[in-house]
Chains A and B, each alone.
With several copies, the nearest count.
Chain A
Amino acid sequence: MSQQVWKLVIVAEEILSKKLIKLIKAAGATGYTVNAAGGEGSRNVRSTGEPSVSHTLANVKIEVLTGTRELADTITREIEAKYYADFSIITYIYPVEALRDHKF
Chain B
Amino acid sequence: MTYGCDCPDIACPSLLTSSDQFKELQLHNVTFLSDFLPLFLKQLQSPTLGFLIGGIVVAALGSQLAIPDSIYKFISFFLLMKIGLTGGIAIRNSNPAEIFLPALAAVLVGIVIVFIARYTLGKMPGISVPDALATGGLFGAVSGSTLAAVLPQLDSAKIPYEAWSAALYPFMDIPALVTAIVVASVYLSKKSGHTSEKVEIWPIIKESIQSSAVTSLLLGVALGILTKPEPVYESFFDPLFRGFLSILMIIMGMEAAQRMNELRKVAQWFAIYAFISPILHGFLAFGLGLIIHKITGFSIGGAVVLAVIAASSSDISGPPTLRAGIPSANPSAYIGASTAIGTPVAIAICIPLFIGIAEVMLAQ
Contact = CB atoms under 8 A, between A and B. Distances in A.
Task: Indicate whether A and B are direct neighbours in the complex (CB within 8 Å).
Answer: yes
Contacts of B330: 45
Interface stretch (A49-57, A73-81, A94-102): A49-57
Instruction: Give the interface residue-count category, chain A.
Output: 10 to 19
A51 B68 CA distance: 10
Interface stretch (B1-9, B173-181, B290-298, B331-339): B331-339
A56 B68 CA distance: 9
Interface stretch (B14-22, B238-246, B250-258, B300-308): B250-258
Interface string A39-65: 000000111111111111000000000
**B interface SS class:** helix
A86 interface: yes
B320 A49 contact: yes
Contacts of A46: 262, 331-332, 335
B327 A87 contact: yes
A54 B252 CA distance: 11
Instruction: Give the interface residue-count category, chain B.
Output: 20 to 34
**A interface SS class:** loop
Given A49-B316, A51-B67, 6 more contacts: A15-B320, A50-B72, A50-B316, A51-B69, A51-B251, A52-B255
Nearest to B257: A53
Given A54-B68, A55-B69, A86-B327, A49 B251 contact: no
Contacts of A45: 330-332
Q: Which 7 A-B residue pairs are closest in the complex by CB-CB distance?
A: A49-B319, A86-B327, A54-B69, A51-B255, A55-B69, A53-B254, A47-B323
Given A15-B320, A15-B323, A15-B324, A50 B69 contact: yes
Interface in B248-275: 251-252, 254-255, 258-259, 262
Interface of B: 59, 66-69, 71-72, 251-252, 254-255, 258-259, 262, 314-316, 318-320, 323-324, 327-328, 330-332, 335, 338-339
A71 B193 CA distance: 34
A57 to B, nearest CB: 8
Contacts of B332: 45-46
Interface of A: 13, 15, 45-56, 85-87
Contacts of B335: 46-47, 49
A39 to B, nearest CB: 16
Contact of A49 (B254, B262, B315): B315
Nearest to B316: A49
A38 to B, nearest CB: 12
Contacts of B328: 85-86
Contacts of B259: 52
Contacts of B338: 49
